[in-house]
Amino acid sequence: MPDQAPNNGFVDEDDMHWMKVIMCGVLITGMFRRIVSLSIDQGRVQTHQEPNLIPPSARNIPFEVIYSSIEPPFSSSRSNDSASWFLTKHLPVMTSPDFLADGEWIGYYCHVRVGRQPTWDPMMHGINFEITADYADHCAVRSRGDDAYGPSSLFGTVHKQNGSLQITKQYENGTTWQWSAVMTPFGIVGSWGSSIWGGWFWLWKRSWSPA
């Protein structure tokens, strides 16, 4: 008998978990973009140092670079793993040190409290990731950043296989927040803080924002 069961084209449970996380991230970006765009148009997001930019839509993102070898949806070479192909094919490019460190990342975060409407702070900006260590399965990153509460430092880990990120954000006054996120085809999407005080955030390349 064989030492292990054949794959048969199916995805293992851990990979399936991260595909579901990435899919949730994709759905969140759609809702996030609509809400942030409306809030900016209605003047409900204050500005801080820089004007607030509209989040990107699919037409603004260079998918020809992110998906470097796009095949027809039902091509025989991936007939058994079309879902995993779509939800993971971007990871080799978007978790690479060259991509992470190329250009400025910007984005928004919201505050979510039970029984209250989410509130949006001015745009985060000035995030230029530096790669401090690069290994086969992950890389370590750090950056400076700025938002309505002032300058901050970001440092953490990007996992290449599943696209998960754990990042610590620390302001100059010592206030620290933990980010738990995933790399989607639309950028970095995740949550910050805790169930008592926290919310969602989305980072993307500045060059992706509509002109």
Model confidence over 160-174: pLDDT tens digits? 999 999 999 999 999
Q: What's the pLDDT score for residue 50?
A: 80
**Would you call 38 helix, strand, or coil by DSSP?**
helix
Other Cβ atoms closer than 10 A to 22: 23
Q: What's the pLDDT score for residue 82?
A: 55
Span 112-139, pLDDT tens digits: 766 667 788 889 999 999 999 999 999 9
* Residue 174 belongs to some domain of the structure: yes
Q: What's the pLDDT score for residue 114?
A: 64
Which one has a higher pLDDT value, 73 or 46?
Answer: 46
Q: Give the model's confidence band at 108: pLDDT under 50 very low, under 70 low, under 90 confident, else very high.
A: very high
Q: Give the model's confidence band at 94: pLDDT under 50 very low, under 70 low, under 90 confident, else very high.
A: very high
* Residue 3 belongs to some domain of the structure: no
* Residue 134 belongs to some domain of the structure: yes
* Residue 18 belongs to some domain of the structure: yes
Q: Which two tokens stand for residue 93?
A: 């490019």
* Residue 98 belongs to some domain of the structure: yes
**Lookup result for tokens 């500045």:** 206
Q: Which amino acid would we find at residue 66?
A: I
What's the CA gap between 168 and 141, in Å, rounded?
10
- 31, 56, 21, 65: which is closest to 182 by C-alpha? 21
* Residue 5 belongs to some domain of the structure: no
Q: What is the DSSP secondary structure assignment for residue 172, as one 8-state letter? A: T
- With b for 16 or more beta-carbon neighbours within 10 A and e for fewer, the 66-104 pattern comes to beeeeeeeeeeebeebeebbbbbbbbebbbbbebbeeee
Average pLDDT, the chain: 82
Q: Give the model's confidence band at 59: pLDDT under 50 very low, under 70 low, under 90 confident, else very high.
A: confident
Query: C-alpha distances in angstroms, 112 versus 25, 40, 119, 149, 166?
Result: 17, 18, 7, 17, 20
The residue segments making up the domain with residue 126 are: 13-208
Q: What is the dihedral of CA 107, 178, 116, 122, to 10 degrees?
A: -30
Q: Give the model's confidence band at 19: pLDDT under 50 very low, under 70 low, under 90 confident, else very high.
A: low
167 dihedral zone (left: phi>0; alpha: psi -120 to 50; beta): beta
Mean pLDDT lowest among 50-54, 107-111, 182-186: 50-54
* Residue 1 belongs to some domain of the structure: no
Which one has a higher pLDDT value, 58 or 147?
Answer: 147
CATH number of the domain at 116, please. Answer: 2.40.128.120
Decide: pTM greater than 0.95. Answer: no
Chain centre to alpha carbon of residue 177:
16
* Residue 7 belongs to some domain of the structure: no
**Would you call 84 helix, strand, or coil by DSSP?**
helix
Q: Evaluate whether 44 touches 120 at the Cβ level (below 8 Å).
A: yes
Q: Provide the domain count of the chain.
A: 1
